Amino acid sequence: MDRNTRVALAERVRGASAAVAEEVTDRFLARHPDWLTRYGERARTRGIEDARYHLSFLASAFETGTPATFVDYARWTAGVLEARGIRREFLAETLRQVSDALSERLPGAADALHHYVDAAVAALANLQAEEATPRAESLLDLTRAMYVQAVLAGERSAALTIVTDALRNGASAVDVYVDVLQAALYEVGRLWESNRITVAHEHAATAITQFVTAHLYDRLERSPSTAKRGTMVLTGLEGELHSIGALMVADVLETRGWTVHFLGTNLPHASIVDTIRRYEPDCVGISATMLFNLPAVRRLIESVRDEWGRSKRIMLGGGAFRRTPELWRELGADGHAGDLRQALSLMCQ
């Protein structure tokens, strides 16, 4: 199935999702009337909401041409539901009903629909009891996969639920930032680079992740020490449009005793220098995602050195340095952090 066909099918699934979600839920409750006795009207409201999630993730899997992502979604959903006392058999039943209802509306796509859903149902049948509580690394791998699908589907509330569930299951906020959010955005970038998603998907992923990080801020672990480590100005450069990685660093460093003045991105050179004069920070952090901005990084470093010498520590980060982590030496900085964990190691020793 080529990309245009996949996109068209995904849009047809999305267009039918409201009606299918209601139909599937009503059929389920007709077969299981005890759910209405147990949960009241919430049974229908939540059932429709869950069915729409299933349809949204199914459409996203179609669009990217990856049945495995829908399998991962089913496995993750089974874990969430079983933690709430709902057996995976009910999920498998609902997914089959979703496939049948969609096939009635989209007969030309029936084979593709059944292929994706059958793979997910088979995975549920093969789950072992120990898989309901996987080790931390596996859990976060699965969480990342689910998060990618949520942001590609434009499901902001689902994305937040996925992340908060990971925190409730014992993951630290730093783990979620690095192993879920940062890793997910890298994956979204790769999907865009390979022309499997549009730039609109990439922008939506960024916007949703900004929403999620805002909600995570109050959940960050706070340093028990009240001692202040210093002041930092953290900024992107003119022409830079990516800020989430730097924002994560700013948020976490604040919880570890740093006073961080985060300036965002796309800031003119002169404005950055003026801000450094204003705050007289101990450290200047520079984030660069695009390689073509490296000359601007060099100019900013030179300006800081010309005015303050070595009195201000200069740290670099961002995608521009991912493949050449030692480039900071050539540019005249004092260090480089490839991710949030490295930034903490460098700044909070």
Q: What is the structure's pLDDT at 225?
A: 60
Separation CA 305–CA 184 (nearest Å): 36
- The set of residues, in sequence order, having a beta carbon less than 8 Å from that of 89 and lying 6+ positions away, is none
Q: What is the structure's pLDDT at 223?
A: 66
Q: What is the mean pLDDT of residues 178-187?
A: 91
How many angstroms separate the Cα of 51 from the Cα of each of 130, 144, 247?
Answer: 26, 21, 34
pLDDT by residue (tens digit) across 239-280? 887 888 899 999 989 988 899 999 998 899 999 999 999 999
Q: What is the mean pLDDT of residues 63-85?
A: 80
Burial class (CB in 10 A: 0-12, 13-18, 19+), 314: buried
**Architecture of domain 230-347 in this structure:** 3-Layer(aba) Sandwich (3.40)
Contact 276, 233 (CB under 8 A): yes
Q: What is the mean pLDDT of residues 19-37?
A: 94
Q: What is the mean pLDDT of residues 13-35?
A: 93
pLDDT by residue (tens digit) across 93-137? 999 999 999 999 988 888 888 999 999 999 888 875 445 444 444
**Percent of the chain at pLDDT above 90?**
44
Is a pLDDT exceeding 80 seen at residue 28? yes
pLDDT by residue (tens digit) across 3-17? 788 888 888 998 999
How many angstroms separate the Cα of 25 from the Cα of each of 55, 56, 211, 336?
Answer: 13, 15, 30, 52
pLDDT band at 209 (very low <50, low <70, confident <90, very high): very high
Q: What is the structure's pLDDT at 163?
A: 93
Residue 46 burial (CB count, 10 A): 13
The total number of residues shown for the chain amounts to: 349
What residue segments make up the domains of the chain, in order of their start?
3-219, 230-347
Q: Among 168-182, 199-213, 316-330, whose mean pLDDT is lowest?
A: 316-330
Contact 51, 185 (CB under 8 A): no
Q: What is the structure's pLDDT at 133?
A: 47
pLDDT band at 224 (very low <50, low <70, confident <90, very high): low
Is a pLDDT exceeding 80 seen at residue 80? no
- The set of residues, in sequence order, having a beta carbon less than 8 Å from that of 241 and lying 6+ positions away, is 265, 266, 289
- From the CA atom positions of the chain, what is the Rg in Å? 23
- Residue holding tokens 């609109």? 200
Task: Calculate ∠ Cα 209-251-316, nearest 5°.
Answer: 95
- Residue 208 three-state SS: helix
Stronger pLDDT, 225 or 18, i.e. the higher one: 18
